[in-house]
Chain A
């Protein structure tokens, strides 16, 4: 449990240095292509920009995010249940510090944690989530967020997202310089000098430079979102170990994704990794169905550990859980408390029963192109676009064939 934090630090440091190398390379070539021989200026600029952005998000990132989504800090008397649940999870995790608690007045159902260190951390939960989740499910969501805080995921994701931002800015500026009319003459001159330097430094370097500027931002995002996804799995199992109740987390995720139709939080792209359920499939979060399936499978095992989670992950996804720190895998398993150990089969029956109730209540079911089934309540206004909770497509992109509710 305590090893994981340290292990994460090593991995984080590696990933962050990789990202930093990419930033430096993009900075170097962005300047080198424009004015050959001055690449070092680009490196300095890139580092400066990265540092500047990092300092801002290090010290104010949390507050900026919280105020962007309109979160307000609460005291115990405002939402006793939420506040109690946070304290309970602090006890279960041994975090030792109670994060600040925020509520967002939004019908969307989501939650996130911020803060570079436990001492300055905060947890924000939407009104919508408080409304739809029962106590156990709320506890599961908060457990997941506390696991993020304990694993220092927020500091790590902040670092990465800052660099993603800096890389995007620099390569964007470089591209714009290339295509703008005002620079036509300079560009022609540069092209000549560039061609001369091609002869000098070699065509390979020039090609690498152009490629980096074009693909750098994309590569940065891919790395960022891949890192974010693995953190999500680790927070799922971490939170489940705190509550000893993987079923509650699966239920919560199911509810959140069911109700997510049509409303999301106005959170910037790179901050999405902090939400409990992300908006899109190939980005910050793994497909929520997959996370639910893994958790339900885990519940069927009756024991919880990183190792059990890794094998449930392999069974569900058909891939190996290579992101699991080895020290975490060695941790002994803990037993799940009686009532929580509902097997995955029972979970499936439950879902069937819920579906039957929804069908009776006049819900319509649609199959999205990504394979997710969208269940739309009858009171949902017709004509309003629906965002698929699985892949983020809007409704008109989905194959609109009502299912027979088999």
Chain B
């Protein structure tokens, strides 16, 4: 009798242990995906920052009357580069997105510029970058949703609380301008 109890006890303990290991590994994998998603956004934001001086340089000669718009872009870019913390970064990038959208809105008034080969290839790069940022944000948010779901639902929530897996924030779109910003469309 005591033998059977002992066996049951050991089996139960082993099952619990296995559950904890599986749940813990799942949580770690899920959290790594979130971190990886965030790094991916960082890579794309850096790409955006690197492209902007080049863009401003190319456009400057054509846009004599848009000095203010160009300055806004440069300023927003510098602010975004210096932004600290996730929240600060999200806000600064939002502002930069809006400034860029403004710039591309006025490009429509300069047919010469739209015929410039250099500008055209830059335009493709910026379109792609905006789209990469949008997609990496999308992937990040999907990963956060998956991670938070695992973290908050039973039975994995017990392991998550035990090992202090904290909630990860979504990258929400800030202002209304930013919401329209990532979709920079130049197609004729």
Contact = CB atoms under 8 A, between A and B. Distances in A.
Given A80-B121, A339-B183, A91 B145 contact: no
A329 B145 CA distance: 16
A1 interface: yes
Interface residues of A, number: 23
B132 A87 contact: yes
Contact of A88 (B135, B145, B179, B183): B135
Given A91-B40, A332-B145, A135 B127 contact: yes
A282 B121 CA distance: 43
Contacts of B121: 80
Nearest to B127: A135
Given A134-B187, A339-B183, A88 B131 contact: yes
B145 A92 contact: no
Among the interface residues B44, B138, B139, B180, which one has the most CB atoms of the partner chain A within 10 A? B138
Given A1-B142, A80-B124, A334-B142, A91 B135 contact: yes
A231 interface: no
A177 to B, nearest CB: 55
Contact of B139 (A80, A94, A135, A337): A94
B136 interface: yes
A253 to B, nearest CB: 19
B128 interface: yes
Interface string B128-172: 100110011011001101100000000000000000000000000
Interface residues of B, number: 23
A85 B135 CA distance: 11
A94 B34 CA distance: 11
A135 B135 contact: no
A89 B37 CA distance: 14
Interface in A305-341: 332, 334, 337-339
Contacts, number: 47
A244 interface: yes
Contact of B124 (A1, A84, A93, A134): A84
A338 B142 CA distance: 18
B132 A91 contact: yes
A91 B124 contact: no
A145 to B, nearest CB: 16
A244 B141 CA distance: 13
B119 to A, nearest CB: 14
Nearest to B180: A338
B102 to A, nearest CB: 19
Among the interface residues B33, B121, B142, which one has the most CB atoms of the partner chain A within 10 A? B142
A-side interface mostly = helix
A406 B125 CA distance: 44
Contacts of B37: 94
A334 B170 CA distance: 14
Contacts of B187: 134-135
Interface in A208-230: none
Contact of A87 (B124, B128, B146, B179): B128
Among the interface residues A84, A139, A244, which one has the most CB atoms of the partner chain B within 10 A? A84
A92 B124 contact: no
Interface string B19-50: 00000000000000100010010001000000
A72 interface: no
A94 B143 CA distance: 10
B33 to A, nearest CB: 8
A32 to B, nearest CB: 49
A327 to B, nearest CB: 13
A351 interface: no
A92 B128 contact: no
Given A88-B131, A339-B183, 20 more contacts: A1-B142, A1-B146, A81-B128, A84-B124, A84-B127, A87-B132, A88-B132, A91-B44, A91-B139, A92-B136, A92-B139, A94-B139, A94-B143, A135-B127, A135-B187, A139-B131, A334-B142, A337-B183, A338-B179, A338-B180
The 9 closest A-B pairs by CB, nearest first: A84-B128, A92-B135, A91-B135, A91-B136, A88-B131, A94-B139, A88-B132, A80-B124, A134-B187
18 contacts: A80-B121, A80-B124, A80-B125, A87-B132, A88-B131, A88-B132, A91-B132, A91-B135, A91-B136, A91-B139, A94-B33, A135-B127, A139-B131, A244-B138, A332-B145, A338-B179, A338-B180, A339-B183
